[in-house]
Amino acid sequence: MKNQVLQGLAGAALSVFMLSGTSFAASEANRINVQATGNVPLQLNVFECGRVLARDISIFNPAADKGVSMKMAVPCYLITHPKGTVFWDGGLPDALIDKKDGLEYYEGAFNFSVKKTLISQLEEINIKPSDIDFLALSHLHVDHAGNANYFSESTWLVQDNERTIAFSKDAGNYGFIPHDYAQLKNSKTVKLNGDHDVFGDGSVVILSTAGHSPGHQSLWVDLPKTGPVIISGDLYHFQKNRENYGIPIWNSKKESIHSFARVDNILDRTKAALWIQHDMPLFKSLKKSPAFYE
């Protein structure tokens, strides 16, 4: 099983991220006008789900920082709502814990490593993946879907276009590794075309933010004590990438610009915090499970 995971990663490494410049129809329908009310008692746990060394961050913005390397975080999140639980993003595969020097990926542009398994962090809080009600992944790249198969008994909340590609012969061309999420194929699934209010009360809302992948999504979480946060997915990869609105080489430029503007508008209006998932300074500043945000 572990060897299969690693072979899957290695085999896919050369075929990923081939569609730079391709444009897809934006999911502008079904938008939800999120509001910060703080009136649902949510909890949010943050887990470490691997690390990425990016050896040249100009891959995230060809206009800047040629040859500069960066260590990047790979978090996963659990949201506990009175009516159920949502797991957000699947991190890098736990099986990478056996690769002491990490795994070279995308012709050495990245090194992926895992120092602490997700499953061990869930055990710390007495949760089994099968306890989770809903799984939502920002998108299906390996550093966000690596442990997706753990959650095959959850209800999968996925943009219809992302799922269609994921199970097509084109999956590799979008940087998806079907082995990572193969067991979700027969999961109970809610196919989305735009935003989705998970519990119907505005507290946990999937926001359609296409661009990095055709069905990329971010997550609005209206925490009563902490205040609202938007968990970015790969809308941006790190703080400077946000400040200069850098567009990675494999994104749809048109859709990315659209999604940047959309999220900026929500942040301005609601004063939500933006948690850029891969941003290491931000990740280091967050309290990790078993501690949680309220």
Residues that bind Zn ion (CB under 5 A): 143, 234
Residues in contact with 28: Cβ distance below 8 Å, sequence separation at least 6, in sequence order = 194
CB-wise, 59 or 95, nearer to Zn ion? 59
- Smallest gap from Cβ 138 to Zn ion, in A, equals 8
Q: With H, G, I as helix, E, B as strand and everything else as coil, classify residue 85.
A: strand
Adjacency order of strands within the sheet including 103-105: 103-105, 110-113, 43-54, 70-81, 84-88, 134-136, 155-159, 189-192
d(CA 203, CA 262): 18
Q: Which two tokens stand for residue 57?
A: 């961050």
Nearer to Zn ion, 42 or 206 (CB): 206
Please identify, using beta-carbon distances, which residue of 77 and 292 lies nearer to Zn ion.
77
Least separation in angstroms between residue 52's CB and Zn ion is 7
CB of 142 to Zn ion, least distance (A): 8
Least distance (Å) between residue 36 CB and Zn ion:
26
The CA distance from 141 to 258, in Å, is: 21
Q: Based on CB atoms, which residue is closest to Zn ion, 36 or 210?
A: 210
CB atoms within 10 A of CB 265: 10
CB of 42 or CB of 114, closer to Zn ion: 114
Q: How far is the CB of 226 from Zn ion (least distance, A)?
A: 23
Q: How far is the CB of 183 from Zn ion (least distance, A)?
A: 21
Q: Which is nearer to Zn ion, 70 or 127 (CB)?
A: 70
Task: Report which secondary-structure segment, H or E, holds 43.
Answer: strand 43-54
107 DSSP 8-state letter: T
CA–CA–CA angle 236, 195, 217 (5° rounding): 25
